[in-house]
């Protein structure tokens, strides 16, 4: 049972890597919703705090990585805004 | 403590709504990574199965909604592929 949870956590965390790479390669994030990543990053940040408070390492690890990836996407939205907004 | 988890779950679920609306409005999903949503949808599907097996309603509810939203985004990636790939 735990394996299923770990695998699901790994997939929903690493899923953001291809998005980071695509934006980096194309230098364009126009179709990527800024509102989505602002809300999502806030939510992931809260999951991280939650994980720290309940001392749940998998929740901490998954959400720390996802937070970094979604912050990079937000940074790219800003950096490539000429081709984005 | 539970409130923090619920709020985080609500944000990381509803975050996908603005992405769905933006693609629907612009009819373009070029910058949205297909690989990301294929991997993410698989992971969310596994979270849903996990939630059902451990009978955790919040996990079931959040991931059922996220699964629908990410499937809609995958459908839009296909539907608007002329402007996407």
CB A35, CB A29: distance < 8 Å = no
Measured from the Cβ of residue B81, the count of other Cβ atoms closer than 10 Å reads 12
Q: Does A33 touch chain B (CB under 8 A)?
A: yes
Q: Say if the Cβ atoms of B46 and A4 lie within 8 Å.
A: yes
- The fold for domain B2-84 equals Monooxygenase (1.20.1280)
Would you write out chain A's pLDDT as a tens digit for each of its 85 residues?
A: 788 999 999 999 999 999 999 999 999 999 999 999 999 999 999 999 999 999 999 899 999 999 999 999 999 999 998 765 4
Summarize pLDDT for B39-83 with one digit per residue, the tens. Answer: 999 999 999 999 999 999 989 999 999 999 999 999 999 999 876
ipTM beyond 0.85?
Answer: yes
Mutate to test the interface with B, among A9, A10, A12 (most CBs of B within 10 A): A12
Q: How far is CA B22 from the centre of its chain?
A: 14
In contact, A51 and A59? CB cutoff 8 Å: yes
Cβ contact (<8 Å) for A31 and B30?
Answer: yes
Q: How far is B61 from chain A (nearest CA, A)?
A: 16
Give the domain A2-83 fold.
Monooxygenase (1.20.1280)
What's the distance, CA B78 to chain centroid? 16
CA gap B82, B61 in Å, rounded? 34
Report pLDDT digits (tens) over B16-41: 999 999 999 999 999 999 999 999 99
């Amino acid at each position: 049972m735990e394996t299923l949870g770990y695998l699901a956590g790994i997939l929903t965390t690493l899923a953001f890597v291809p998005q980071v790479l695509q934006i980096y390669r194309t230098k364009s994030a126009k179709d990527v919703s800024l509102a989505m990543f602002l809300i999502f990053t806030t939510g992931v940040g809260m999951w991280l705090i939650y994980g720290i408070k309940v001392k749940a390492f998998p929740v901490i690890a998954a959400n720390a990585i996802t937070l970094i990836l979604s912050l990079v996407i937000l940074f790219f939205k800003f950096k490539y805004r000429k081709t984005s907004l």
